[in-house]
Every structure is written in structure tokens, then in C-alpha cells.
Chains A and B, each alone.
Chain A
């Protein structure tokens, strides 16, 4: 009977490989043509000088990269991006973990609370930035109003004049949008922890904090690694919020804004490509670092 079934399968699905290939061909064409070939072209063209403003594409070796490292404007955008990444990842992880723990605890109306939490992630980042730009308005904004009415600040507000305050305000808009994703990922991890582990720990007299450190944290480490990598990649790619709130201002300019300016406003394609490759490598390296470190430190032995 079993062998008959196998023979039957082989007869009918001898063409499995060709059918499988047929199923993936549209994907291969699109991903190959619009992602992988352009990526290859980015790598190759970053050592040439490609610009729509001039004829010919002379080979320049690592000149583009050397130019980037010695350019103070580019270095400033790197510093801004690292500031965004550190602050956004810390705030999203702390806030996301707190939100996930709360969502895991709330029983009544959880569906609606979840909907409210997810909402910011669903909205266009541009609209978020516009809404927050109005909140941050120095004269009539909600932030100024609240600070005045609570007496925390008197007189005119000058937040946009301070570079670090401005970087923080841009990060806050980004965190508002991305924190829900961290919260959902961590909630999924929390829900996969068997309840009887906690009961057993309670019987042994473990405190809430001890339960959290010895049960919760190790068991959500996989989710934590995913949450950390995605928040890092998204913070490295920060463009919309900084662009809407402060345009090309050097105070808040990110590496991706620098790429956009180099390529599409100054029409230095090769310089932009070299910079975007460096940004990609940096974000990949940091993500990889988290994945390895989180796994190593919190693994169950």
C-alpha cells in the first residue's frame, strides 16, 4: 500500500521541480531585475565616476570612498544617524517591552488596546511627521502649550534652535511609529512562554523580578534579537521624519538624506552609491552583532 502510494506520487509529481520553478519565476524576475542587479550595479559603479552631467564613466578606484571619509558634511550625517540609531533602538526596545508586558497582562478590552497601539505603525510616516510638526510648533504647538500651562517653561520656546533637542524630537516621531512593531514582536514571544514555568517558580518562592530575569528574558531572547535588528535597520534608514521636520538641515541630516542629496540634487550618482553601500554595510553589521550577542548571552544552557 505504502509503496503503491509512493509510486503513484512519483508518477503524478514527476514534474514537481518544473512546477516549483514555474511558481517562483515571476518572483525571480522581479527580485533579480529590480533588486539584485541594481545592487550589483551599485557595487560596480561605486568605483567609477558616473554622473548624468558628464560623458563617459572613468574608473576612479576607491576615490569616491576616500572623498566620503574626508567630507565633513558626510561625517556629520553619519554622527546624526548613529545618534538616531542608538536613541531610537533604546527607546523602542524599552517602550516596546513595557507595552508588550502590559498587553500580555490586560484581559479586558485587549483587542481595542492592541488596535490603538498598532495604529501609529500603520500610518504614512509623512503624515506622522506633519502631525508632530504641528505639535512641535514653537508658537502655537501643543508641546509649547503643555510646557507653558504646567509651568515647566516660560517665555518663547526655542527647541528648534538646539541641535540635540531637534535630533531628539525627530527620533521621538520615528519611535512613535516604530515602537508598535517591537511591542508586537515581543508580545508574540511572551505569549509563547508556557504558563506553568511561572507557577513552578512561584512555588519555589521566586520574586516577580527574579521570574522576569530568569524566565521571561531568556525565553524572549529570540524575539528580542529580531526586534533589535529591525529597529536598527529602520533607524539607519530614517529619511521621512527628518526630511519633513527639518528638510536638508545639516543638524538633523541622516545618511540616507545625504545619499538623496548627492544623487538626485547634486547628481553625483557614484558618490551616492558608495555612501548607500556603506550605510547598508553598517546596518547589516550592527544587526548581525545583536543577533549573535543576544543569542549568546541569554541562551538557556
Chain B
């Protein structure tokens, strides 16, 4: 009996250690970046790593948000004009791509789940099949197409590419959500004389809201983090997002680690908020997408 208790206690301690290791692995690098962004430049280049900023400084954030800032004793222009522009660009392209993707997927997925029309299965197979194709395979012809349409470095161009890249996953997810809903709901509405579009928009979609939210979150996070697409299609600050601007702070011979960590922390605020407040939808969405 005591032997068993020992084994149980041992198992519990093992679990606790495993949980701690997992937490340090997952959150540690983010904590380290946050601590760095508040550490003064002289402390950053000391021999001993500081696990906690000795004297908190907002210096690096001042470089991002101030009109001018001090760098190595000299007054220099801050990066705020570029940085603010990149934030706006990131928000516009990601939010637009999210709305368009979810709107298109919400209707198309319903048609694939519940309606009969010629070519339905082939079409679904082809569209979802593109999930296995690396998005970068089509980048070169896409670039020539976008030049021909004068859509390089425009919000419309970048947003359309995001939609085409993230639509298959949203479609897959939404179809599995619709399929798991009981058909009797729709039948009851039809019996009462409601039309198909009305039933879908006013009855089915509100009930499928958790799935729609999950599809929106996944699309938003993917668009917010995109790098290679805007690296090619957003060459100037007209549409350049944070992900392309931040690496530009790294110059060949000098890297301002305080500045890039501060900029990184600003860039991860939206994803962190999503994880803190909407994680339930995100995880259930990822699970539904993986199992159905």
C-alpha cells in the first residue's frame, strides 16, 4: 500500500515537472523578449544574462513611439512614421482577408455540406487539395498576374492572395461544423415556410457561430504572421506590414536588440489577446479541422 502511495506521489511530481518544462519551453522565449524590451542597452550587453530587467526602461518603446529619440548620445529620428504605417497595413490586410475569407467560406461550405449541385464532390476535392500545395508554388505566376492587373503593392492585391491561401482551411473547417449540426433544425425552419437563404443566415449561421469564430481566428493569425507574400507583393510602405518592417531593423553590422524585441512585443499583442480570450474557439477549431 505504501509502495503504491510512493508510486502515485512520484507520478504526480513527474507530472508537475513535465508541466513546468512545457511552460518554460512555450512561454520562456516570449518572457525573455518582454524582459529584453524593458532592459537598458548597457545591461543588454553585460556578460551576465539578466532574468529580470534591473532598472526598467521605456527607452526602446520611446524609439518606436516617440517623434525623436536618443541613440548612443545622439538625437535621431524615430521609426514611428514607418512603424505606425506598418501597424495600419497589417491591420487592414489581415482584417479584410479574415472577413472576406469567412464570408465566402460560410456560404460555400454550406453548399458543400447540404446542397446538391453538379460537380460538388470534384470541386470540394480540388479546393481542399490545394491545402497540400505549398502556397509558394504559385507565387511567380501570381506575381506576373498582379503586375498585369496593377495590384502589386495594393491592399486589394495582398488581401486577395491571403484569401486564396487561407480559404481552403476555412472551407474545410466550416463544412465539418455544418455537417455536425442536426438536419432537423433546417427542416423545422423550412416547414414553417422559411426560405433556404433566410434559414442559413438567420438560423444556421448563428448556431454555427463558434465555428465561424474559429475560422476567423485561424485566418486572422495566418494573415497577421505572413512574411513571404508581403515580402514580394508589398515592396513599399504603402502596404508593407509589421512582419516585413521588423526584420529591416536588423542591419548588417549593428542589431538594436532592444528595439526589435520591443517591436516584436507590439506585433504579438493581437495574437496574445486571441490566445487569452478566444483560445477555446481556436483549439476546438483546430481539433475539428484535424479530426473530421
Contacts and interface: CB of A to CB of B under 8 A. Distances in A.
A239 B287 CA distance: 26
Nearest to A283: B134
Interface in A120-171: 120, 122-128, 130-135, 137, 139-142, 145-146, 149
B123 A115 contact: no
Nearest to B279: A115
Nearest to A117: B26
A18 B275 CA distance: 40
B30 A125 contact: no
Given A16-B196, A124-B267, A273 B227 contact: no
Contact of B286 (A19, A31, A184, A233): A184
A10 to B, nearest CB: 12
B228 A122 contact: no
Contacts of B18: 98, 102
Contact of A124 (B167, B227, B276): B227
B107 interface: yes
Interface stretch (A32-40, A64-72, A82-90, A292-300): A32-40
B58 interface: no
Interface residues of A, number: 97
B264 interface: yes
Contact of B145 (A20, A38, A118, A260): A38
Contacts of B127: 27, 31
Nearest to B267: A127
Interface residues of B, number: 94
B48 interface: yes
Contacts of B290: 184-185, 188-189, 223, 226-227
Contact of B227 (A99, A125, A283): A125
B225 A106 contact: no
A13 interface: yes
13 contacts: A16-B115, A17-B117, A34-B161, A39-B141, A122-B272, A123-B271, A124-B268, A126-B243, A127-B264, A134-B260, A140-B45, A140-B257, A176-B25
Given A20-B111, A37-B141, A102-B15, 20 more contacts: A9-B190, A21-B117, A24-B112, A33-B145, A34-B160, A35-B130, A111-B280, A113-B22, A118-B279, A123-B268, A124-B243, A130-B250, A137-B257, A146-B49, A181-B286, A184-B287, A185-B287, A239-B227, A259-B139, A273-B140
Interface of A: 9, 12-13, 16-21, 23-24, 26-28, 30-31, 33-39, 41-42, 45, 98-99, 102, 105-106, 111, 113-120, 122-128, 130-135, 137, 139-142, 145-146, 149, 176, 180-181, 184-185, 187-189, 192, 222-223, 226-227, 229, 233, 236-237, 239-240, 243-244, 256, 259-260, 263-264, 269, 272-273, 276-277, 279-280, 283-284, 287
Query: Which 6 A-B pairs have CB atoms at the shortest separation, nearest pair first?
Result: A145-B49, A20-B117, A124-B225, A20-B115, A34-B164, A23-B111
